[in-house]
Structure 1
Amino acid sequence: MVKITFQPVSVQKPEKDNDADKITIPQAHEQLVPPVRPRKTYSLMRPHCFIFGLSVIMTVLVMASVYFYRYYVPLEIPEDSLFHCRVLFEDTVYAPLSGRQELEENVGIYLDDNYEQISVPVPHFGGSDPADIIHDFQRGLTAYHDIALGKCYITELNTTTVMPPRSLWELLNNVKRGTYLPQTYIVQEEMEVTGRVRNMRQLGPFIHRLCFGKETYRLRRRNQRQRIQRRETKKCHSIRHFENTFVVETVICDRF
């Protein structure tokens, strides 16, 4: 008689089968968040920021160059607008018995910019200070730089004694071939200091360039009937110059 036996069959599956059948369900927050990618905004903005910054720097440099050129670089003028003058005149105010005196100066006329610049060297006869003078017809101002004192004086342009650039240019061209201008006379104007000038830019580029770094004061004209008292003569100084058919002696009384 044959005996048949059966081995028990295990119902457990191998672990690898369990892992294969396992289903993973993602969480809610994992479904909403997309995969993180590198941002390109910064890389795209960088060239634009660089170009903008470069344009700002270039603009500042251009403006600074224009300002420096306008206020500090002397302008060149054609040779036919430069004049060397020697004028004979009668001093009937202070030296009526001394006979004729001579005034020498260099004149530059800027027709395009509508101003005149006069340089008066140390006079041969004394009694006057060397000076540089600017008559700015565009702004209606006159500036006297007294070289002996190292000071600048600003006043309103007196168009009754100062010829405009075109008229003065024509006058000087008419006598340019001669050594002397026709004999003339002298006119005196009296000025007094009223205060210090703080804002130099309001004077315009030409006067600003002349008076930059110097003590600068404002002037006002005295009444022509008012005479300079003898006690004031030590505080006053004069500048003789020529910008018309006569010589002008500007007497400046400085209280500072």
Structure 2
Amino acid sequence: MVKITFQAVSAPKADKDNEEDHIVIPQAHDQQTLPVKGKKHFPTRLCSLICGVVVLIVGLTLASIYAYRDYYYPQQLAAGRDFFHCRVVFEDTVYAPLRGRQELEENVGIYLDENYEQISVPVPYFGGCDPADIIHDFERGLTAYYDIALDSCYITELNTTMVMRPRNLWELLVNLKVGAYLPHTYLVREEMVVTGRVRNMRQLGPYIHRLCYSKDTYRLRRRSQHQRVERRDTKKCQSIRHFENPYVVETRICNRF
């Protein structure tokens, strides 16, 4: 009689066999990934934004220029008035080696319908001249100088050979571009002498009357270029520099009283 027996297989051995037969495939999420640096791209959005801003600014500038030329100036001309801020570089031929080139600044108001000009000369950068307000009234044929430093007005006949008419002056200033320097120019001198006091202010017209109201007002007479200023008049003279033409005028006013 033959006895047949079976030996039990332990569990660990089976597990070992299973491990040998089982192949583990690593998953993608189990792998350790390294950060990848992205490529630096050209900042196209920033460039587009800058180009857009530049185009907008250029467009607004051009629109302003066209509006100023096509709308503002015709409106001002239709209203019969216009205002300018002007500067001019000039040379005094007498004192040129000492002073060199000088600059003069003024504000100009042109009233085409009323046919007069009003000029305001601020305190100059150089000494020897007074700030002033000036009116050239072409209807009355009169010029008024208000010396701000002395608080006095001076009236004389309008010199149409030295003062451009409102329309011509307006065209000159427009063509020379408002706010720009006028071409390099020269200085012309004229001398005035006080002849007496003005009593009746209303005969001067509304514009000069408004300028000189409640101020000491005197009449002037042009002194001939051949006449010499006396020594006793030298200390009683003051000068006003202005321009209402392509050159600068120095008006010297002397009081002999």
Distance 1:249 1:234 in 2: 17
Question: One-letter code of the match for 1:220?
Answer: R
TM-score (norm 1): 0.67
- The verdict on how the C-alpha distance between 1:193 and 1:100 changes in structure 2, with shifts beyond 3 A counting, is same
The alignment covers a number of residue pairs equal to 181
- Which residue number corresponds to residue 8 of structure 1? none
- Identity of counterpart residues, as a percentage? 77
Distance 1:199 1:153 in 2: 13
TM-score (norm 2): 0.67
Deviations 1:98-156 (A, max 9, x none): 21100000000000000000000000011110000000000100000000000000000
- Which residue number corresponds to residue 242 of structure 1? 243
- Which residue number corresponds to residue 229 of structure 2? 228
Question: One-letter code of the match for 2:89?
Answer: L
Deviates more, 1:97-106 or 1:193-202: 97-106
- The verdict on how the C-alpha distance between 1:199 and 1:178 changes in structure 2, with shifts beyond 3 A counting, is closer
What residue ranges of structure 1 are gaps of 5+ in the alignment?
1-75
Structure 2 residue 231 is the aligned partner of structure 1 residue 255: no
Structure 2 residue 113 is the aligned partner of structure 1 residue 116: no
Distance 1:217 1:102 in 2: 29
Asked if 2 retains the 8 angstrom alpha-carbon contact of 1:152 and 1:211, the reply is yes
Distance 1:185 1:235 in 2: 26
Give 1:93 shift: 2.8
Question: One-letter code of the match for 2:137?
Answer: D
Distance 1:96 1:254 in 2: 30
Asked if 2 retains the 8 angstrom alpha-carbon contact of 1:193 and 1:252, the reply is yes
Structure 2 residue 136 is the aligned partner of structure 1 residue 135: yes
- Which residue number corresponds to residue 167 of structure 1? 168
Q: Which consecutive aligned stretches of 4+ in structure 1 deviate over 6 angstroms post-superposition?
A: none
Asked if 1 retains the 8 angstrom alpha-carbon contact of 2:86 and 2:178, the reply is no
Question: One-letter code of the match for 2:181?
Answer: Y
- The verdict on how the C-alpha distance between 1:79 and 1:163 changes in structure 2, with shifts beyond 3 A counting, is closer
- The verdict on how the C-alpha distance between 1:148 and 1:180 changes in structure 2, with shifts beyond 3 A counting, is same
> What value does the CA root-mean-square deviation take over the aligned residues?
1.8
What residue ranges of structure 2 are gaps of 5+ in the alignment?
1-75
Distance 2:251 2:97 in 1: 18
